[in-house]
Amino acid sequence: MEPDPAMSRRLPAEWEPQDGVLLTWPHDGGDWRPWLAEVDGVYVELARAITARERLLVGVRDATHRAHVERLLGQAGVALERVVLATVASNDSWARDHGPITVFEHGRARLLDFVFNGWGGKYEAALDDRIVAELARAGAFGATPRERIGFVLEGGAIESDGAGTLLTTAACLLSPGRNPTLARADIERRLGGFFGLRRVLWLEHGALEGDDTDSHIDTLARFCDPSTIAYVRCEDRADPHFAGLEAMERELHALRDAHGAPYRLVPLPWPAARFGDDGRRLPATYANFLVINGAVLVPTYRDGADQRALATLGACFPGRAVVAIDCLALIRQYGSLHCVTMQLPAGVMAPL
């Protein structure tokens, strides 16, 4: 696959310089209601870690919700001068999937606003699908252009090395609830045009119980640099994940980087099984980390493997601080740290 030279588009890697991060703050009108106080605490810790290094754009439901969020952040000593609050209606809080995906076109940031249909129609998402447009109308992105695209795609479904390679899963992008009229080759061509890609790497195996995204790549395998992939590995043969993740590991070993060399593969620890009140297994994964300016934020689960995960990812991102964020509350709704955040690369946000 060769990008169209006239497009001059590039999908940046997450570790490139950022203006800030987008959060859509949970509220009592959604599925978080039973655990809202606990999840508020997770968001406060995210806000604290992010504003120590860059800006934060927060979508709030209404004036009452805005006052609530301002009070929480103020009480926690968060740097409010680095926080932009924007009133926007929302169904849920998964900013990774309803937020904008930024490309650089001729070196300038451009926001791609894909259709978000609740992971293939599983959940109501009409409000979330309008969030990027509403934030743009509110001036949150300044003069950065927004392009609405009639193609279903979530940010958690794709991983970019910043140099023209995209990693994804067939289970997600080929699921019938997203773009059912398009074959794999059609989807690959469209991704190439949207993002200026040279190649798309597909994983055919790998899934986490409790994950209702149809195997988002950000729960399974992540670029740490253009030649390194960190991925989840299950070493317990009695665990139902073992066979699928072992098959995924074999696929990763068969992949080659842009220079034709094998990737440096870094296995991440496997946390102990956690279950929801209904007995459903929760998708705890250390692959759901977020890279920001000067740091990597790593989800933890009050698990014996937490410290090993922190050390492993710290070695993958030398020179960056490693910040643990307790995400046990987030997996109650089947996502984690990366799922609730969307980085906004340098050049996206309106200037102060």
Q: Which amino acid is at 148?
A: R
Query: Is 189 part of any domain?
Result: yes
Is the model's pLDDT at 6 over the cut of 50?
A: no
DSSP 268-299: EP-PPP-B-TTSPBP---TT--EEETTEEEEE
Residue 132 lies in a domain: yes
Query: Does the annotation count 339 as an active-site position?
Result: yes
Residue 140 CB: number of other CB atoms within 10 A?
A: 24
pLDDT > 60? residue 290: yes
Q: What is the mean pLDDT of the chain?
A: 96
Interatomic CA distance for residues 299 and 312, integer angstroms? 13
3 located within any domain: no
Mean pLDDT along residues 258-270 = 97
Question: Which tokens sit at 246?
Answer: 């072992």
Residue 7: what pLDDT?
Answer: 57
Output the domain CATH number for residue 54: 3.75.10.10
The catalytically annotated residue of 172, 224, 316, 339 is 339
Total residue count of the chain as it appears in this document = 352
Mean pLDDT of 41-48: 98
pLDDT digits (tens, 9 = 90+) for 12-33: 999 999 999 999 999 999 889 9
pLDDT at 5 over 60: no
239 in any annotated domain: yes
pTM: 0.96
> Total domain count for the chain?
1
- Residue 352 — pLDDT band, cuts 50, 70, 90? confident
- Please check whether residue 254 lies inside any domain of the structure: yes
Instruction: Give a yes or no: residue 351 inside a domain.
Output: no
Percent of the chain with pLDDT over 70: 98
The range of the structural domain enclosing residue 60 comes to 9-345
Q: Is position 4 within any domain?
A: no
| DSSP string of 237-249, one letter each residue | TTSTTHHHHHHHH
Residue 1 is predicted with a pLDDT of 62
